Amino acid sequence: MEQYIIKGGKPLAGEVVIGGAKNAALGILAAATMTDETVTIDNLPDIRDINVMLQAIEGIGAHVEHSAPHEVRINSHQIHAMDVDNEFIRKIRASYYLLGALLGKYHHARVALPGGCNIGSRPIDQHIKGFKALGAKVSIGQDMICVEAEHLRGSHIYLDVVSVGATINIMLAACMAEGRTIIENVAKEPHVVDVANFLNSMGANIKGAGTDIIRITGVPKLHGSTYSIIPDQIEAGTFMFAAAATKGDILIKNVIPKHLESLTAKLIEIGAEVEEFDDAVRVVASKRLGRTTVKTLPYPGFPTDMQPQMTVLLALSRGTSTVTESIFENRFMYVDELFKMGASIKVEGNTAIIDGVEEITGATVFAPDLRAGAALVIAGLAAKGYTMVQQIHYVERGYETFEEKLQALGADIEKVDVDDAKAVRKFKMKVG
Ligand code: EPZ
């Protein structure tokens, strides 16, 4: 088991290049199984969730070639099984995209039920509602979900909840169904749009992604494609907030500024400077930041995946702020960890009331999930003294070479084995 060891207090400065969007790539990799022709996908992040998805696709018979760094070539014409069940795939929630993809192409799929995770129960009732509306039979048993259909026919589907996963999964199942499908009350995240654009590059006919209504005309076949995944909005936001929390100056490259608007607005509101370029943003914070009120919302609102990072920033700001989590029911577990560092935060229901403090101090903390883990790293970078962040396998699900990118920005951070006291001593000698 590994941990990050951090000596905080240094402003981050320099440039960082953002990788491809994890949450677009997961849907795109599933979509790639819907053609018998070769698909080349570039700007693919080299992170655990992506590699697990690639193993799952190979596991059902697709040919996957790592043709270059951050690039894969997938050919699925030899897919022989529609059963996706292995211990890896149970670890990532997005395995359920293979339900929509294999249902859409082969009219049949069995996939291990996605694990919940620490931020909430993560139901899939809206996915099932969409599959059934298209004519599929859905059965759940032995911890597997099975979908099958004689025939998939377009339908008019109204989502009861704005759901990224359900929007993408229903798009996958509907893009080769007969006739027209209308999906209302859809998620508008950049990664939803990226999956729609990828499917259209394969010959699908999907209109309206990024708006409240997606209209699909089914096509009989999808062809190969070469596609580059959009930059990761949340990785970019995480580095933006790391710059602000350490009173640094970072140029964050390979981003789409429009996708970061809600984050930029909040940073400016609390006193940071944000400069936008065509494909980069520069974040500078030279003084202690101010207070604000945040509520997480579906895109284009403030993203729930940046909620922990926002709380860390406000924990060090002047005044009292509130952060309300409206998407998931259990996404404040990391607050107990921040308490160990001297933060003054009270969670009441789905709102954190944050009394900003001048300084937090290093401690040994445990990442409860992916984005909270990244937020605890930011806290360690801003804290006085040494912080150990444990359970970092969560962080590595979504951030490629996280500690190396932070080191290049001047951070004193290393990844060491939790039992390696010598490595900890060596780090402390080195950074002083
Ligand atoms: C995606 O999860 C992301 N994961 C999450 O990012 C992100 O937090 C979330 O969207 C919201 O933006 C991936 O894309 C792999 P939802 P997803 O369906 O699709 C409820 C990260 O850190 N709901 O949009 O599972 C659900 O309980 C991860 O990268 C239903 O009620 O999220 C939640 O309250 C964490 N029924 C709300 O909708 C359903 O059938 C939004 O969930 C589906 C969802």
Average pLDDT for the chain: 96
Q: In 3D, which of 372, 362, 357, 268 has the Cα closest to residue 317?
A: 357
Q: pLDDT tens-digit profile of 258-306?
A: 999 999 999 999 999 999 999 999 999 999 999 999 999 999 999 999 9
CA of 162 to the centre of ligand 1 (A): 9
Q: Tell me the sheet residues that pair with 145.
A: 111, 140
Whether residue 268 is found in the same domain as residue 402: yes
Assigned token pair, 161: 């909840």
CATH number of the domain enclosing 238: 3.65.10.10
Does the Cβ of 127 fall within 6 Å of ligand 1? yes
Is pLDDT at 116 greater than 60 in this prediction? no
pLDDT over threshold 90, residue 238: yes
Query: Which residue has tokens 């935060």?
Result: 345
248 shares a domain with 182: no
Domain of 302 in residue numbering reads as 2-19+231-431
Q: 202 CA distance to ligand 1 centroid (A)?
A: 26
Same domain for 64 and 9, yes or no, is no
Active-site entry in 79, 89, 117, 413: 117
Residues paired with 356 in a beta bridge: none
Check if 117 is active-site: yes
Exposure string for 347-381, b = 16+ CB within 10 A, e = fewer: beebbbebebeeebebbebbbbbbbbbbbbbbbbb
134 Cβ contact partners less than 8 Å away, ≥ 6 residues apart: 149, 152, 153, 154, 155, 170, 173, 174, 177, 181
Order across the sheet with 2-7: list the strands.
Answer: 364-366, 386-390, 2-7, 412-417
Query: Ligand 1, from 163, 169, 259, 370: best to mutate by most atoms within 8 Å of Cβ?
Result: 163
Q: Is residue 169 in contact with ligand 1, taking CB distance under 6 Å?
A: no
Same domain, 160 and 14: no
Distance of CA 149 to the CA centre of its chain: 31
371 lines ligand 1 (CB under 6 A): yes
Residue type, 286: S
User: Could you tell me the pTM of the whole model?
Assistant: 0.97
Is the CB of residue 161 below 6 angstroms from any atom belonging to ligand 1?
Answer: yes
Ligand 1 closest atom vs CA 22: 29
126 vs 183: CA distance, rounded Å: 11
pLDDT digits (tens, 9 = 90+) for 44-75: 999 999 999 999 899 899 999 999 999 999 99
228, 258, 284 — which closes off a domain? 228
Q: How far is the CA of 367 from the centre of ligand 1 (A)?
A: 19
Does ligand 1 lie within 6 Å of residue 308's CB atom?
Answer: no
d(CA 12, CA 195): 33
Number of domains in the chain: 2
**Residue 328 Cβ contacting ligand 1 at under 6 Å:** yes
382 and 413 assigned to the same domain: yes
| Residue 64 and residue 10 share a domain | no
Pocket test of ligand 1: the residue of 23, 49, 53 to mutate, having most ligand atoms within 8 Å of its CB, is 23
* One domain, residues 111 and 171: yes
CA distance 221 to 215: 18
Distances (CA, A) of 379 to 8, 365, 426: 8, 10, 22
The 10 Å CB-count burial string (b at 16+, else e) for 310-322 is: bbbbbbbbbeebb
Give the model confidence (pLDDT) of 253-263 as tens digits: 999 999 999 99
